[in-house]
A and B are shown apart, each in its own frame.
Chain A
């Protein structure tokens, strides 16, 4: 993992990016905000999410006592339905090593949350000591029992109708029990579900895109590549969904959008895009930087705020990654001197070693080869995408 100027970096995922350097750094872990601390309580009416997978094991039991209808599963879980009304597990219940009348058998290293609903109008008591919700150990399994009343059980909405039992799943967990009068559990918070779906789309495969233009003029090729990138972004359903809701998206989803744009730019121009990272310690007036040794683009959280600026910054910085890769290719003999890009790539390479700093005159800075090209790329793509 790379670090920012302060040696601290907030790393989020980098999907669809083909790093040139260390492959192991290509898929940094999720930001810490994505994973609740071990033992934390997930929001009511929301499935526990651990390790990127949400699994809701729910019991709306009414008839047999827990333990009376064991259903062995592939994970060593025995399911038991419950009697009516269901009661919270006694102290030291399923997770606490106690002995409820008929406790569910876990038989595996799985964190199981037990929430039961009472038959009265009061919410179910929280799990007893030692039986607190647990989402650690890889899988967060949530056990909720229902009640005959309309009281929320573990946060369930009152007065709603019973939900159908889930069908079998790949983990071999089986639904047992159920009651027509039991308040249903909400499978997933719709907003969380929508965000998860969007992120899956953003990190999914790219649509079919044209490769680098093959004309005899590098400038003309560049204009065609740019046009294709604009059209690709405009036509991409995942990106358009993200753009439509930009202000409400969490940072990691925005970053997934940025990495998708970078991946599209790489596919169309024919280079390996640099992975984008959020550097939480970059503050105004600094917005980000490209680091060819790391092969990373670091952006500040401020950069994520304005969508148009974000698209501009991402494509501008990726243009530098493109210039560097092509410059090195040309310099190291990996590019045919007859390639229409060859002379430009050589000039880009030289420019990286003879960079005109803006403090020594903005005009020289702004019009030097690598900046003129990067500005044209970022400005044009953002202009075209939002035209």
Chain B
């Protein structure tokens, strides 16, 4: 079973709006868990959202290069479905006001 880990970054005036690591979440199948060192808000959000169907937005490219259209779409995914972990990362980022990366560094 594939494991997804994502990192959540907060941006506020205390760091001049430069990203500061706020937590780390791992998703395996339909189970999600935050590391104990994560912000309490992140742990709460994992508990609240970790069993729900969630929307996932993505862009599809039609054409290429200068002729492309990057079309933004949204689909709903259930826990355990492929890519549901990404939907969870989006939801936690949106609800908690975090930026999300899939590496331990800000992009």
> Which residues of A line the B interface, CB within 8 A?
219, 223-224, 226-227, 230-231, 284-293, 308-309, 313, 317, 320, 352-353, 355, 357-359, 362-363, 365-367, 371-373, 375-376, 379-380, 382-384, 386-387
Contact = CB atoms under 8 A, between A and B. Distances in A.
B49 interface: no
A227 B11 CA distance: 9
B63 to A, nearest CB: 9
A146 B18 CA distance: 61
Given A227-B18, A366-B86, A358 B93 contact: no
B28 to A, nearest CB: 14
Interface residues of B, number: 41
Nearest to A293: B66
Given A223-B18, A293-B67, A366-B86, A375 B11 contact: no
B19 A380 contact: yes
B97 to A, nearest CB: 5
Contacts of B66: 292-293
Nearest to A287: B72
Contacts of B56: 362
A287 B107 contact: no
Given A379-B99, A379-B100, A355 B61 contact: yes
Given A227-B17, A357-B60, A383 B70 contact: no
Contacts of A230: 11, 17
Contacts of B18: 223-224, 227
B68 interface: yes
Given A223-B106, A289-B69, A231 B17 contact: yes
Interface in B52-89: 56-61, 64-75, 82-83, 86
Contact of B98 (A317, A362, A379): A379
Given A231-B17, A352-B68, A289 B59 contact: yes
A373 B107 contact: yes
A358 B102 contact: no
Contact of A380 (B4, B9, B58, B83): B9
B51 interface: no
B12 interface: yes
A358 B59 contact: yes
A384 B75 contact: no
Nearest to A303: B72
A380 B11 CA distance: 7
Interface string B1-27: 000100001111100111100000000
Contact of A362 (B16, B74, B86, B100): B86
Nearest to B90: A379
A355 B59 CA distance: 10
Contact of B58 (A223, A288, A365, A373): A365
B33 interface: no
A261 B15 CA distance: 22
B68 A355 contact: yes
Nearest to A372: B107
Contacts of B10: 383, 387
15 contacts: A224-B18, A227-B17, A284-B74, A285-B75, A308-B94, A358-B59, A362-B58, A362-B82, A363-B4, A376-B107, A379-B93, A379-B98, A380-B9, A383-B93, A384-B11
